[in-house]
Amino acid sequence: MSRTAARVLDDFLVAAARAGDRAAFARLARRWHPKLVAHAWRLAGNRADADDAAQAGWIEIAAGLRGLRDERAFAAWAYRIVSRRCARTIGAAVRARSLGDELAAQPHGEAADPGASLDAARLRAAIRGLPPEQRAAVALFYFEELSVAETAVALEVPTGTVKTRLMHARRKLRAHLEGAGQ
């Protein structure tokens, strides 16, 4: 399905779900749940927290969907909800652990997928090394293919801030990958 056709389908499903069509909401959830879990995983860093954030996000989405005025804003709105849930989860984890526990919990190496290339593994490692704000901007803009404006809405920052975060992230990624290639 082309990106345009997918957006039209999503817009229809959101409009129908807002009108109370439960089957449309279920189909919307089936289409978007994997995307929201993937986004949460990139932010939270582990599957359990990602699943929890996405599930809690769906509760909030279901409760607030009728208040969404523009169905085209659904993607940015849903990503923003899940991003907030991840921020809460991460904040709670940081408060619950001491600095030593936090350092011990950090991964010490890249466990590449069996068929993944070395460059892809280095890129994933470099992205994980970005500050959370830059990692979120990169994830939404490049992986989820949101526009700069949609990414700004999802992250609740001005578009100029998204552009700046993307610029700094690209510089850091380029430096990391060029440095690793030597």
Long-range own/partner contacts, residues 143-151 (CB < 8 A, 24 or more apart): 143/38, 143/39, 143/42, 144/35, 144/39, 144/75, 144/79, 145/3, 146/75, 146/76, 146/79, 150/75, 150/76, 151/76
Which pLDDT belongs to residue 89?
Answer: 77
Q: Does domain 115-182 have CATH number 1.10.10.10?
A: yes
Q: How confident is the model at residue 19 (pLDDT cuts 50, 70, 90)?
A: very high
Q: How confident is the model at residue 182 (pLDDT cuts 50, 70, 90)?
A: low
Q: Tens of pLDDT along 113-169? A: 444 466 777 888 888 888 988 988 988 888 888 889 888 888 889 999 999 999 999
Which pLDDT belongs to residue 2?
Answer: 80
Helix (H) or strand (E) holding 37: helix 22-44
Which pLDDT belongs to residue 82?
Answer: 93
Looking at domain 1-106, its CATH class is mainly alpha
Higher pLDDT, 119 or 98: 119
For residue 139, the tally of other CB atoms under 10 A from its CB is: 24
Over 60: is that where the pLDDT of 47 sits? yes
Instruction: Tell me the domain boundaries of the chain.
Output: 1-106, 115-182
